[in-house]
Amino acid sequence: MPQIIDLCATSDIESEDVIRVDREGHSFAVYHAPGGKFYVTSGLCTHEAVHLADGLVMEHIIECPKHNGRFDYRTGEAKGAPACVNLRIFPVTLAGGRVTIALS
Amino acid sequence: MPRPAIRDYSLTGPDGAAAVENGRAGAQWYATPIARARMKQLMQRRDGPAIRDTLIWFAALGLSGGLGIALWGSWRAVLPFAVYGVLYGSAADSRWHETSHGTAFRTRWMNIALYHLSCFMMLREPVVWRWSHARHHTDTLIVGRDPEISSPRPPDFLQLLLKLFAIPGGIKSLRHILLHSLHRLSPEEATFIPPMEHHKVYTLARIWLAILGAIAALCLALHSILPAMLIGLPTFYGAWLSLVFGLTQHAGLAEDVTDHRLNCRTVYMNPLLRFLYWNMNYHVEHHMFPMVPYHALKALHAEIKADCPAPYPSLFAAYREILPALLRQKRDPSYFVPRPAPARAPVSQAA
Ligand code: FES
């Protein structure tokens, strides 16, 4: 059974920004995309396990604060060195102004 | 345990293995706390400053190179070529560096185009240096991990003198371009370039070899070194200023610490030098927050300076510390310049 995890309120994140949420021993990055959609990825860069929430969101790209590796946070796709391994993404559910994911 | 006087700076030796074992490799580094809203402002990408600076740079290269061609054959060509050389072999150093971080422009293709051009001008292979520089940021001045320690202890003054003309690095680059064109990496490179990137190294090495070969063939056909004076040789005859800038970054400072305030220097420079160096004189700032573009480093400096050791007021002041420190390290390789980091400053607020 997937575990439903409540991460934050939609109002916790400015548009075109990201926050870090730690739950159940995992670190997540929660994104508020331009246009109002929300996305969740693993919180750590696949290059060197740095918290992505300290990085810069540009449209649908999250840029890692350490070596500027870039990922498309909608798909998790790594967009070029030194980010070469895709990010794990989590399907998001929005209900009552809360961002939740199902963790299997 | 007392630190051995002579360290092994290679990436495949015992010091590197010890750094992994004792947690200095890939460690958590100190960062001055800055409010997220302010940090977002500082990180913002812009095209305007880098387009302006790049157009000025290209115009200055065109003007000095054109004058050099027009005066070729007379002693009067020396001055324009001296200027052209510095613009090529020194200013390109900060351009490849900034674009390697992807922070110069907002527009991605502009970063990539300038990265490849300036890498070629510096004879720094784009894929190799991207990975080597990532390691430099992860493990700055961690012995056995950082491939970009420019002044290992004890310092080798003959090497430093030769570096004024990029001779050790240039020869190494040419050797490695040949090696890579044969689809091989050095053992050190294999420690920081992941296998999925190797084919890019090999392809680019072959392209570069073809360009360098074409320049050599043109020189032979024209019975003149003029083509090489414009492409290839300026990497060497114009390199001196990049060494003058580069040594201020870390030379003589502490190794094996995890606080950039202790192993980087911020040096105040005039606008001309800052243009040539693309603000890398704010080196503590750059290392602590590498995602802040060069044009915002002065503002970042204002934000964190209360939490950092005093900056050096000039290049001269920095060298008044560096040269005696290197001389002392020649006698005593365990010596380094201690930098007093102030007590933690309060979190800055968004402007
Ligand atoms: S840690 Fe994220 S790109 Fe290196």
In-domain check, residue B104: yes
| B331 residue type, one letter | R
Residue with tokens 């989590």: A90
pLDDT at B344: 61
| B74 residue type, one letter | S
**What is the rounded CA–CA span in Å between residue B40 and residue B350?**
9
Mutation for B interface: A54, A60, A67, A84, most B CBs within 10 A = A67
pLDDT at B3: 53
Chain B contact residues (CB < 8 Å to A): 26, 39-40, 43-45, 101-103, 106, 127, 130-131, 134, 137-138, 194, 196-197, 289-291
pLDDT (tens digit per residue) in B194-225: 999 999 999 999 999 999 999 999 999 999 99
The atom number, within ligand 1, closest to the CA of A45 reads 2
On the CB side of B14, CA atoms within 13 Å amount to: 5
* Count of domains observed in chain B: 1
Position B269 pLDDT exceeds 70? yes
pLDDT (tens digit per residue) in B5-26: 689 999 999 999 999 999 999 9
In-domain check, residue B177: yes
Q: Which domain holds residue B239?
A: 47-329
Q: Which domain holds residue A15?
A: 3-103
* Count of domains observed in chain A: 1
CB B139 within 8 A of CB B20: no
Position B2 pLDDT exceeds 60? no
Q: How far is the CA of B206 from the centre of ligand 1 (A)?
A: 28
pLDDT at A89: 97
Residues of B in contact with A47 (CB under 8 A): 134
In-domain check, residue B339: no
pLDDT at A96: 93
If you average pLDDT over residues B39-62, what whole number do you get? 98
In-domain check, residue B107: yes
Q: CA-CA distances (angstroms) from residue B21 to B5, B6, B17, B141, B144?
A: 20, 19, 6, 16, 12
Position B257 pLDDT exceeds 80? yes
Q: Shortest CA distance to B100 belongs to which of B72, B131, B76, B78?
A: B131
pLDDT (tens digit per residue) in B295-325: 999 999 999 999 999 999 999 999 999 999 9
Contact: A56, B194; criterion CB under 8 Å: no
**What is the rounded CA–CA span in Å between residue B170 and residue B143?**
23
Chain A contact residues (CB < 8 Å to B): 17, 47-48, 54-56, 58, 63-68, 70, 81-82, 84
For residue B42, the chain A residue with the least C-alpha distance is A56
pLDDT at B348: 44
Position B347 pLDDT exceeds 50? no
| B1 residue type, one letter | M
pLDDT (tens digit per residue) in B60-69: 999 999 999 9
Q: How far is the CA of B102 from the centre of ligand 1 (A)?
A: 13
In-domain check, residue B16: no
In-domain check, residue B183: yes
> Which residues of chain A are under the pLDDT cut of 70?
none
Contact: B291, A47; criterion CB under 8 Å: no
| Portion of chain A with pLDDT greater than 70, in percent | 100
Position B163 pLDDT exceeds 50? yes
Mean pLDDT of chain B: 95
CB B325 within 8 A of CB B252: yes
| B349 residue type, one letter | Q
CB of A82 within 6 A of ligand 1: the answer is: yes
Q: How far is the CA of B74 from the centre of ligand 1 (A)?
A: 51
CB of A13 within 6 A of ligand 1: the answer is: no
In-domain check, residue B53: yes
How would residue B349 be classed by pLDDT, with cut points 50, 70 and 90? very low
CATH number at residue A17: 2.102.10.10
Position B175 pLDDT exceeds 70? yes
pLDDT (tens digit per residue) in B113-149: 999 999 999 999 999 999 999 999 999 999 999 999 9
CB of A51 within 6 A of ligand 1: the answer is: no
Mutation for B interface: A54, A68, A71, most B CBs within 10 A = A68
Number of A–B residue contacts, CB under 8 Å: 43
**What is the rounded CA–CA span in Å between residue A39 and residue B318?**
47
